[in-house]
Amino acid sequence: MRQCIVVEGRADMLQIAPLVTADVIILKTNGTISEVALEELVEPYEYLALYTLFDADYTGDVLRKLMDRLYPECTHLYIDDEDKAVEETPRMKLYALLKDAAIYVKD
């Protein structure tokens, strides 16, 4: 079964893309996004296991709440408060986070 991770931006996508297998689709919101635009982005993939990986900030909180409203079955992945941003989190930490969440990671 394929998986889908929703991230905020291009830098986040580039940070996790080398860590996951081809069975993982990465979608980016490009920062703040409306409910309608988020639904249009995610809807084609809603049959997959949905995950979010957003920054530990206000925008990330808003996006998590929006995803909960639209896709209550999604699983939220959280980075450490010390890292704050996905793009600034060391890849080894992200790898461990993804692996612990049973995301398909490369060996």
Domains within the chain, CATH numbers bracketed: 3-100 (3.40.1360.10)
Q: Which two tokens stand for residue 24?
A: 């993982």
Is the Cβ–Cβ distance between 95 and 105 less than 8 Å? yes
Q: What is the pLDDT of residues 45-98, one digit of tens each?
A: 999 999 999 999 999 999 999 999 999 999 999 998 888 899 999 999 999 999
Query: What integer pLDDT is reported at residue 63 of this predicted model?
Result: 95
* Per-residue confidence (pLDDT) for residue 31, from 0 to 100: 79
Contact between 31 and 8 (Cβ < 8 Å) = yes
Cβ of 70: how many Cβ atoms within 10 Å? 16
pLDDT number for residue 56? 93
The C-alpha atoms of residue 56 and residue 65 are separated, in whole angstroms, by 13
Of residues 2, 8, 100, the one with CA closest to residue 52: 8
Q: Tens digit of pLDDT for each residue in 10-35?
A: 999 999 999 999 999 999 999 778 99
What contacts 10, CB < 8 A, 6 or more positions away? Answer: 28, 30
Residue count (the chain): 107
Tell me the pTM.
0.95
Return the closest-CA partner of residue 32 out of 56, 49, 12, 8.
Answer: 8
Query: What is the predicted pLDDT for the residue at 32?
Result: 76
Q: What is the pLDDT of residue 101?
A: 97
